[in-house]
Homo-oligomer: A and B are copies of this chain.
Amino acid sequence: MPVKDCKTEQHIKETARRIFLKEGKMLATTQEIADAAGVNRTLLHYYFRSRDMLFNVVFTEALTKLRERLHEVIGSQLGFRQKVEKLLDVFFEDLTELPYLETFITLQLNQEPHKYEEMFVHLPGGKERIRNFLKEIHHEMEKGTIPVMKPINYMMNIFALIAYPYVAKPVFKNMFDLSDTAYNKLLLDRKEMILSLLFN
């Protein structure tokens, strides 16, 4: 096979992503991942050198993808309300696909901050797009279409209201005695409610 086929590599990576970010098994061993992927454990090392690097690739890819999607939205030419709606949609999709990404970001960015700092910095035009969005928020406040507060707080609220119910899913499910399907149904309803909170 002189042609790099990268089928196995992809497969391992996807399996790892599923186990780490979808099922939340942060402590999964190379053996578990190899078994789940149905390949020899040595292949993980062949393709990714170490468990650490495999984790890093998976994590970084997911994080980058989410960030790109979010930045694309806030940098788009949509009107403000459409932008916020789209932001909620993107989050909703992403959290449905990878419920544990948020949690891992928290832990990882704390464990090895230096490792990821540059990654954030190197996103082209990232900081500026965020500054512009904050300005837009400020402008909407002056127009009176949204509640007045520090723009950063407004932006945090968007994230908090959509993301937290995913992060805290096990707690809320238990607290309110809800089945998995009942909880998911509840999550679907939240978008409209959130919009009504975010806009006057």
Contact = CB atoms under 8 A, between A and B. Distances in A.
Given A107-B26, A189-B153, A193-B149, A159 B164 contact: yes
Contacts of A111: 24-25, 27
A102 B167 CA distance: 9
A169 B106 contact: yes
A112 to B, nearest CB: 11
A105 B171 contact: yes
Interface in A103-118: 103, 105-107, 109-111, 113, 117
A39 interface: no
A70 to B, nearest CB: 10
A111 B167 CA distance: 14
Nearest to A105: B171
A108 to B, nearest CB: 8
A147 B190 contact: no
A106 B26 CA distance: 12
Contacts of A153: 186, 189-190, 193
17 contacts: A23-B110, A26-B107, A27-B27, A102-B167, A103-B106, A106-B171, A109-B170, A149-B193, A149-B196, A150-B186, A150-B189, A152-B186, A157-B161, A160-B161, A160-B165, A161-B161, A163-B164
Interface of A: 23-27, 100, 102-103, 105-107, 109-111, 113, 117, 120, 127, 130, 147, 149-150, 152-153, 156-157, 159-161, 163-165, 167-172, 174-177, 186, 189-190, 193, 196-197
Query: What 8 A-B pairs come out closest when comparing CB atoms?
Result: A160-B164, A109-B170, A164-B164, A160-B160, A24-B110, A149-B193, A120-B174, A103-B106
